[in-house]
Amino acid sequence: MFTKNSLADDISDFQINGISIGDSLLNYMSKSEIQIELKRTREIYSFLNNDFGEVYLFDNFDFGSYDALSFMVSQKDKNYLIYEVRGMLYFIEEPNRCIEKRNQIDKELSQIFSNLEKKEIFFKSRHDPSGKSTKDKILYKFNNGDEIQLSCSNWEENLRKKNNWTEGLSVIVTSKEINDWMTGN
């Protein structure tokens, strides 16, 4: 699901489908494609400032083990360096299969990261006023604030269809900068 350099010391040594934090998204998409995606996804993060934005990679790309990929980039950076890489596996209306796959990956990560802080978190999504949409996460936190997350999302079905959202497993390699941005630190 992801690769790790055998000498990995920090989060940038981990890859999802060959892509790492610190790579330029311009290696995979044109500037105009990135800007269109940043504009399209802006509403998702409207509760935050405009420092970062999410870009989904759609066409003409080999997604490897994943159904889709997304990236967080600084909107002020002309090189569009990547601060987060997310690989997604769809499990539409299959939350138990999502948890099974997540736990399988977690078993591998637990062996690699036996010395890191690990948290399991279950919560209701802020994007669903009904309170029926949930996230079930496992987080591995590096000492510097970077994280690897394994997250199963299960949206309330009407909300998912209305917004054309997917649900399932996200394997996320995220930098401290994104974590700080999301939490307002």
Q: What is the DSSP letter of 19?
A: B
Same domain, 125 and 165: yes
Say how far apart CA 82 and CA 64 lie, in whole Å.
19
Higher pLDDT, 7 or 8: 8
- Cα–Cα distances (Å) from 29 to 8, 19, 128, in that order, read 27, 13, 31
Say how far apart CA 117 and CA 108 lie, in whole Å.
15
Say how far apart CA 110 and CA 126 lie, in whole Å.
29
Same domain, 69 and 113: no
Same domain, 73 and 51: yes
Q: What region does 50 belong to: left with phi over 0, alpha with psi -120 to 50, or beta?
A: alpha
Residues whose CB is less than 8 angstroms from the CB of residue 152 and which lie 6 or more positions away in sequence, other chains included: 91, 95, 98, 99, 102, 135, 136, 137, 168, 169, 170
Q: Identify the domain boundary among 53, 85, 117.
A: 85
**pLDDT tens sequence across 83-105:** 999 999 999 999 999 999 999 99
Same domain, 81 and 92: no
Q: What is the pLDDT of residue 112?
A: 84
Looking at residues 26-39, what average pLDDT do you find? 93
Same domain, 25 and 48: yes
pLDDT of residue 6 exceeding 60, the answer is: no
Same domain, 80 and 109: no
Handedness of CA 179, 169, 23, 37 (dihedral sign): negative
Q: Identify the domain boundary among 35, 58, 85.
A: 85
Same domain, 58 and 105: no
**pLDDT tens sequence across 130-184:** 999 999 999 999 988 999 999 999 999 999 999 888 899 999 999 999 999 988 8
Number of structural domains the chain divides into: 2
Confidence of residue 9 (pLDDT cuts 50, 70, 90): low
Q: Identify the domain boundary among 48, 70, 85.
A: 85
DSSP assignment string, 113-129: TTTSEEEEEEEE-TT-T
The residue segments making up the domain with residue 72 are 3-85
Residue keyed to tokens 């802080």: 117
pLDDT of residue 68 exceeding 80, the answer is: yes
Same domain, 100 and 165: yes
Same domain, 113 and 149: yes
Q: Per residue, what are the HEC states of 44-101? A: HHCCCCCCEEEEEECCCCCCCCCCEEEEEEECCCCCCEEEEEEEEEECCCCHHHHHHH
Same domain, 67 and 25: yes
Same domain, 92 and 78: no
Same domain, 124 and 81: no
**pLDDT tens sequence across 44-64:** 777 778 899 999 986 656 667
pLDDT of residue 114 exceeding 80, the answer is: yes
Say how far apart CA 183 and CA 45 lie, in whole Å.
12
3-state helix, strand, coil in the chain (%, to 5): 30, 35, 40
Q: What is the pLDDT of residue 63?
A: 63
pTM of the model: 0.86
